[in-house]
Amino acid sequence: MGLTKSSTGSNLLANDLEFLKNDSDYVIALAGNPNVGKSTIFNNLTGMHQHTGNWPGKTVSNATGNCIYKNTNFLLVDIPGTYSILSNSEEEEIARDYICFGHPDCTIIVVDATCLERNLNLVFQTMDITNNIIVCVNLLDEAKKKKIHIDLKRLSDELGVPVVGTTARKKKTLNSLMDTVQKVCTHDIQPAPKKVIYNKYIEDGLSKIEKVLNAEFELSSDLCRWIALKLIDDEETIINSIEKNLSMSLSNNKNIQNITNEVHNDLEKNNIIKKHLKDFIVSDIMHKCETICGKVCIFEDENYSRRDRKIDKILTSKKFGIPIMLLFLAVIFWLTIVGSNYPSQALFSLFGWIQEKLLHLANFLHSPEWLSSMLISGVYQTLTWIIAVMLPPMAIFFPLFTILEDLGYLPRIAFNMDGFFKKCCCTR
Amino acid sequence: MTLNDLPLNTKGYIQNLNCNENIKRRLLDLGFVKGAPITPVLVSPSSDPRAFSIRGTLIAIRKEDANFINICFNS
Ligand SMILES: Nc1nc2c(ncn2[C@@H]2O[C@H](COP(=O)(O)OP(=O)(O)OP(=O)(O)O)[C@@H](O)[C@H]2O)c(=O)[nH]1
Ligand SMILES: [Mg+2]
């Protein structure tokens, strides 16, 4: 990908943040799956302009901005979207390191109301690291369109953390989010996450390792459990970054090595081999997500997704998929070219009229011939000509493209074209 | 049998993921865990990526990757 750690800002950690924190009261992290509207929330709260877009992975590095709410200054950190923080891709590392070691006063996890189940996965993974979590159920308008109702109160009870519903595009809906953020920061609300209880053997192992960790280091109980989990999981990169950021030495500590090996042996006796450990952990989390979703999501219209599916079927069918796509693009280009003729012409005549006046003015001021011709017929004319030709098509093309994007047609194009792209790649 | 052999609009259950660590993790993150129900619902024009409905979302997977996913009919 060509993104080095320094360029993506993954080392925007403790030191840098201390510096930024100076003039803000609290630091808030915005995490969540890709394409759930984190940057939209960030922009609306900070008034900044992070790129947003309807495809996953738009944001690749942490961005920070300030937001003042009720005389309190919050520093918001927009984290790249990830489905998980268990794995090791670049973005996940940035997200995980920030949530673990950046010490935000609270972490908002933005989830997509239209596919809550998949999104809860990250919520539970984050709960293993920190308690100060707020879950923000975004895209409520989309969910409403799809006739999905989510019982936010119940969700909050099930998770043990505050839950706020928002529609990020409407600024007003973000007030209750900031309200909750403030209350969590001032400890008026204390989230008490109901963490996932893993399979019995894993839990036994965890408590054994936790005991030793507690004896060796001074750690908060959440962090202890999380580090124990990582030791069982034997995640080298994560362990390395724990050692680096918390300046503790795990892999050289005899007691910890011994207990970890012991636990691994115990697990193996119960048919949990190290290689499959992650499957057990993930499926325990997934199972919990499934149960909770079953309780809080109400699908009011089973037919909706079927209707949606039908449209998809046409848009991606063998016969019509590609022709429809070409038709769409042709219409866009046609509208752009034909539609921009008129404003182009209008601009031409406007600029022409101004040019005449400018020449009069130059005569009136008795400016030398060479100067006025260079400035007016040279610089002015070329510049306005470029504007008249370029501006109208752009002003038409981009909004049209934005509409296509909002309709979610671009992923369908990608789906249609994937085969071709791959064929192209293979011939290289 | 693998995910590629599962006919359109038939429900199958994931049995195991038979692939390298990186792809496996990605698939796990997306909810491809043992026992999860999965249904192919769309085929792209060139018939290569197929889209699957899993956990209430739609995910497109290429044939070469779907080959690693073993499926059975009862959970
Ligand atoms: N209808 C609707 N669309 C929204 C809402 N919130 C965000 N969007 C749209 O969702 C798309 C994705 O938003 P982003 O803010 O870029 O998502 P992100 O979470 O930052 O994505 P990554 O940076 O890729 O992780 C954009 O097209 C937004 O306009 C919402 O509440 N309702
Ligand atoms: Mg973003």
What's the total number of domains in chain B?
1
- pLDDT above 90 covers a percentage of chain A that reads 5
Q: Which ligand is nearest to the CA of A111?
A: 1
What digits encode the pLDDT tens for the residues A255-309? Answer: 888 888 888 888 888 877 777 787 788 888 888 888 888 888 887 666 666 666 7
CA A316 – ligand 2 centroid, Å: 28
* Distance (Å) from the alpha carbon of A375 to chain B's nearest alpha carbon: 56
The interface predicted TM-score (ipTM) is 0.72
Task: State whether B45 and A416 contact (CB < 8 Å).
Answer: yes
Q: Would you state the pLDDT for residue A115?
A: 83
Confirm whether B59 is domain-assigned. no
Q: Which residues of B touch A88 (CB under 8 A)?
A: 25
* Distance (Å) from the alpha carbon of A172 to chain B's nearest alpha carbon: 29
**More confident site: B74 or B60:** B60
The partner residue sitting opposite A87, judged by closest CB among B29, B42, B58, is B29
**More confident site: A209 or B26:** A209
CATH of domain A6-185: 3.40.50.300
Indicate if the pLDDT at residue A2 is higher than 50.
no
**More confident site: A128 or A424:** A128
Structural domain span for residue B3:
1-14+22-47+65-75
CATH number at residue B38: 2.30.30.90
The partner residue sitting opposite B49, judged by closest CB among A278, A283, A418, is A418
Closest residue of chain A to B24, computed from CA coordinates: A279
Per-residue pLDDT, averaged over A391-409, amounts to 79
Q: Which atom of ligand 1 is nearest to the CA of A406?
A: 27
Task: State whether B25 and A416 contact (CB < 8 Å).
Answer: no
CA A139 – ligand 1 centroid, Å: 8
* Distance (Å) from the alpha carbon of B60 to chain A's nearest alpha carbon: 7
Per-residue pLDDT, averaged over A325-334, amounts to 83
- Ligand 1: residues whose CB is within 6 Å? A 32, 34-40, 52-54, 56-59, 80-81, 138-139, 141-142, 167-169
Q: Which of A53-67, A128-142, A362-376, B5-19 has the lowest mean pLDDT?
A: A53-67
Q: Would you state the pLDDT for residue B55?
A: 74
Confirm whether B60 is domain-assigned. no
Q: Would you state the pLDDT for residue A10?
A: 40
Residues 34..63 of B with a Cβ closer than 8 Å to A: which? 34-36, 41-49, 51, 55-58, 60, 62
Confirm whether B56 is domain-assigned. no
Please state the three-class secondary structure of chain A as a single string: CCCCHHHHCCCCCHHHHHHHHCCCCEEEEEEECCCCCHHHHHHHHHCCCCCCCCCCCCCCCCEEEEEEECCEEEEEEECCCCCCCCCCCHHHHHHHHHHHHCCCCEEEEEEEHHHHHHHHHHHHHHHCCCCCEEEEEECHHHHHHCCEEECHHHHHHHHCCCEEECCCCCHHHHHHHHHHHHHHHCCCCCCCCCCCCCCHHHHHHHHHHHHHHHHHCCCCHHHHHHHHHHHHHCCHHHHHHHHHHCCCCCCCCHHHHHHHHHHHHHHHHCCCCHHHHHHHHHHHHHHHHHHHHHHHEEECCHHHHHHHHHHHHHHCCCCCHHHHHHHHHHHHHHHHHHHHHHHHHHHHHHHHHHHHHHHHHHHHCCCCHHHHHHHHHHHHHHHHHHHHHHHHHHHHHHHHHHHHHHCCHHHHHHHHHHHHHHHHHHHC
Indicate if the pLDDT at residue A108 is higher than 90.
yes
Q: Would you state the pLDDT for residue A111?
A: 93
Task: State whether B31 and A422 contact (CB < 8 Å).
Answer: no
Residue boundaries of the structural domains of chain A: 6-185, 200-271, 321-423
